Amino acid sequence: MPSMSNVPDNDLEELELTITPYFRIASIVILLIVIISALLIWIWKKELTSRTSFYLAFWSSICILVYHGFGFFKPDAAVPVSCALLNYFKNVSKLSAVIVTGCIAFNLHRVFIKKSSVSPTVVRWYVPMSILFSILVSTPGLAYSLHAHTCWLRSDYKAWTMIYWWVTSDLWMFIVLTYCLVIVILVFRIIHRERQEIKRLLKSGNNPLSYSGSRRKEREYNRVAIRIIMYPIVPILSFTPSLVTFTIRTIQVVCHPMSEEHFQDVLDHCNLAADFVCSWTGIFAGIAFMCDPVVSAAIHEIRVKYGFDSGAQKPQLRMDESGSSDAVDMLPIL
C-alpha cells in the first residue's frame, strides 16, 4: 500500500470530496432519526425522558445536525462576508454541541463521582448558556474576519490569526474535551473497581445477592453510567484529530520546527483525516443514543406492549442526573 505522502494533493482532495460527504449525509440521516425518535419517546411517555443526559443529548444532536448542514455549503472566499458568516455559524453550532456534551460529563461528575445533586434550576440553563457562550466567544473571530475581509481567519496562519482561532474555538474545545476525557477515565476506573470487588466476593464464596441496599444501588449506578458515558466520548472521537492538527500548526507557526513545504504537506494530510473523522460525528452520536438507558427502556416497553417480551424485569435504579434516585421498574435489565 503506497504511503499517503506519495499521493498527489489533488488526489487527496478528490478522495475527501468523494468519501467524506457520504459519511456526512449518513450522519445527518442518523441525527434526524435520533431527534425524531427522542421526540416520539417524549410524546409517547414523557416520564421516560426526564433524565438530564437525555435532554442534553437531544440538544447536542440538534447542534451537530446544524453543523453538518452548514458543512455542505462550500463558502466562496471571494465573498468574505458570506464566507465569514457561514463559518461563524458552523463554529457556533460545533462549539455548542461540545459544551452541551460537556454538561453531561459535568452531571456524571457531580452525581456519579461526587455523589451530590445538581439543582434543576442549573440544569435548565445548561443549553441556553452553552449556546450563548458559543456565540460570545465566536463573535471576535467574525469581527476580525469582516474587518480583515477574510474568510473566517483562513487567509493566512500568522501569530495573531492563530490567537483568534484559539480564542474563538480551539481553546474552549481543548478545555471541554480534556474535561470529558478525565470524567470518562474516572467513571471507567470506578466501574472497574466495582467489578473487581464483585470478582473478589465471588472467589471468596460470598453470595453477591447478599449485598446491602447501597451496594445494589451502586451497581445500578454503574450500569446506567457506563451507557451515559458514551455521550462525552462522541466529541472526543470526533474533534480531537482536528484539535491536534491545529495545535501542531500553531507550533509550526510559532517555532518553525520543520521546513515549511514538508510540514505543510503533513498538515494537509492531517486536515483531510480530521475532516473525515469529523464527518462521523452523527454516526457516533447515533450509537451513543442507542446505548442510552431511556432508549433501552422505551424499546423494552414497546416489546412488552406488542407481545415480544414477557415484561418480567428486576427493579432497577432510576438515576436522575439531578441527583435523586429510587428503585423502580422503569429500566430494563442492562
Say which CATH number the domain at 239 has.
1.20.1070.10
Considering only 11-25, 113-127, 130-144, which range has the smallest mean pLDDT? 11-25
The three cell numbers of residue 109 are 461528575
Alpha-carbon Rg for the chain, nearest whole angstrom, is: 23
For residue 157, the number of C-alpha atoms closer than 13 Å in the C-beta half-sphere is: 14
Q: How many CB atoms lie within 10 A of CB 59?
A: 21
Quote the pLDDT of residue 239.
94
Quote the pLDDT of residue 207.
54
Domain, as residue range, for 132: 22-304
Q: Is residue 151 part of a domain?
A: yes
Q: Is residue 1 part of a domain?
A: no
Q: How many angstroms separate the Cα of 245 from the Cα of each of 65, 87, 234, 264?
A: 23, 18, 18, 11
pLDDT in tens, 180-232: 999 999 988 888 887 777 667 666 655 555 455 555 666 666 677 778 889 99
Judge contact between 111 and 323, C-beta under 8 A.
Answer: yes
For residue 140, what pLDDT band results from cuts at 50, 70 and 90?
confident
Q: Is residue 330 part of a domain?
A: no
Q: Is residue 41 part of a domain?
A: yes
Q: Is residue 15 part of a domain?
A: no
Given a cut of 50, whether residue 131 has pLDDT beyond it is yes
pLDDT in tens, 26-81: 999 999 999 999 999 999 888 888 889 999 999 999 999 999 999 888 777 677 88
What span, in angstroms and rounded, lies between the C-alpha atoms of 248 and 255?
A: 10
Quote the pLDDT of residue 57.
94
Whole-number percent of the chain with pLDDT over 70: 75
Q: Is residue 326 part of a domain?
A: no
Quote the pLDDT of residue 13.
62
Number of domains in the chain: 1
Q: Is residue 312 part of a domain?
A: no
Q: Is residue 268 part of a domain?
A: yes
